[in-house]
Amino acid sequence: MKKINILDYLYPPRCPVCDKPVLQKESHDGFCATCLGKLPIIRGKRCCKCGRALSDLEKEYCSDCLKYGLAHIYDKGLALCTYDDALRDMIYRLKYGNRSEYANALGKLLADSFATALKRAGAEGVVAVPLHEKRIRKRGYNQAELLAKSFCMHSGIPFYKHYVERVKDTKPLKSMSRPERQNNLKKAFKIGKNDVKLKVSIVIDDIYTTGSTIDALAEVLKEAGVHKVYFLTVAIGDD
Ligand SMILES: [Zn+2]
Ligand SMILES: [Zn+2]
């Protein structure tokens, strides 16, 4: 039997695309039907490295990975949607507009889309890109962690909240070049205290831009003995 949450009736969760409340009887996994249909979900051929939609179906890699692919420390990634104006607004509200609830619907969609493939690839545990505690205090939550929790709840893959910590409060990467990003992320992460040793892990974040953040995290994970680092994001730029 489906669990009924009274709060869903009093305060129905909002659709991540249009931001309107969606009643449970009209909800398609937390989205309105039309909004779910409008999401730019990547369904065609993907880049073998970063998972973005390929513009040239003859190729195996996107233009970004043809240029920088070999330098990546992560092994492979998957993204749910191609970044567009609607995704930009959605992620902005998720991060800064007090719409942490979007993470429930988005995490489920990530699980429905990718959990089987990731389990087949041996994924044993999930790590979210950590925020520095100063930012958590300011924002109240870490959106990557909420996405990871929802993904784990729906996929059954365990979440390791303290596997990696952010020890440096890095500047926002938005307007930085690739080398500036890499420099800014140096020594940003360290392995936390934990009893588990993962061999194959998934790193979850909201968006993939140049991959610098995921690489910085993958570097620390690999130094700690993780053999394979996959990533999963809600959005990624086009090819
Ligand atoms: Zn909607
Ligand atoms: Zn790529």
Kindly report, residue by residue over 47-78, the tens digit of the pLDDT: 999 999 999 999 999 999 999 988 999 999 99
Q: What share of the chain is helix, strand, coil (3-state, %, to 5)?
A: 40, 20, 45
Whether 2 has a pLDDT exceeding 60, the answer reads no
Centre of ligand 2 to C-alpha 64, Å, is 6
Q: Locate 168 and state its tokens.
A: 């440096």
Helices 102-120 and 143-155 pack at an angle, to 10 degrees, of: 50
Over range 9-17, report the average pLDDT: 87
Please tell me the distance from the alpha carbon of residue 176 to that of residue 187, in angstroms, as a whole number.
Answer: 17
Centre of ligand 1 to C-alpha 94, Å, is 14
Q: Counting ligands in written order, which one lies closest to the CA of residue 69? A: 2
User: Locate tokens 């669990």: which residue?
Assistant: 3
* pLDDT tens per residue across span 111-140: 999 999 999 999 999 999 999 999 999 889
In terms of domains, do 206 and 96 share one?
yes
Centre of ligand 1 to C-alpha 18, Å, is 4
In terms of domains, do 186 and 113 share one?
yes
Whether 159 has a pLDDT exceeding 70, the answer reads yes
Q: Do 22 and 30 contact (CB within 8 A), yes or no?
A: yes
In terms of domains, do 33 and 44 share one?
no
In terms of domains, do 65 and 155 share one?
yes
Could you give the maximum distance between any two Cα atoms of the chain, in Å? 52
- Give the amino acid at 4: I
Whether 211 has a pLDDT exceeding 80, the answer reads yes
Centre of ligand 1 to C-alpha 50, Å, is 28
Grade residue 96 by pLDDT with cuts at 50, 70 and 90. very high
User: In the chain, how many domains are there?
Assistant: 2
Q: What is the CATH number of the domain that holds 108?
A: 3.40.50
| pLDDT value at residue 110 | 98
Grade residue 4 by pLDDT with cuts at 50, 70 and 90. low
- Determine the structural domain holding residue 30 and report its residue range: 1-38
In terms of domains, do 6 and 86 share one?
no
Beta pairing, strands 164-166 & 189-191 = antiparallel
Centre of ligand 1 to C-alpha 112, Å, is 19
Centre of ligand 1 to C-alpha 236, Å, is 21
| Cα torsion angle, 43, 108, 81, 22, sign | positive
**46-50, 175-179, 204-208: range with lowest mean pLDDT:** 175-179
| pLDDT value at residue 95 | 93
Any idea what DSSP says for residue 70?
A: G
Q: Is the pTM of this model over 0.85?
A: yes
In terms of domains, do 4 and 30 share one?
yes
In terms of domains, do 55 and 95 share one?
yes
In terms of domains, do 91 and 138 share one?
yes
| pLDDT value at residue 8 | 66
The candidate with the shortest Cα–Cα distance to 16, out of 77, 78, 97, is: 97
Whether 170 has a pLDDT exceeding 90, the answer reads no
In terms of domains, do 26 and 123 share one?
no
In terms of domains, do 194 and 150 share one?
yes
Centre of ligand 1 to C-alpha 85, Å, is 15
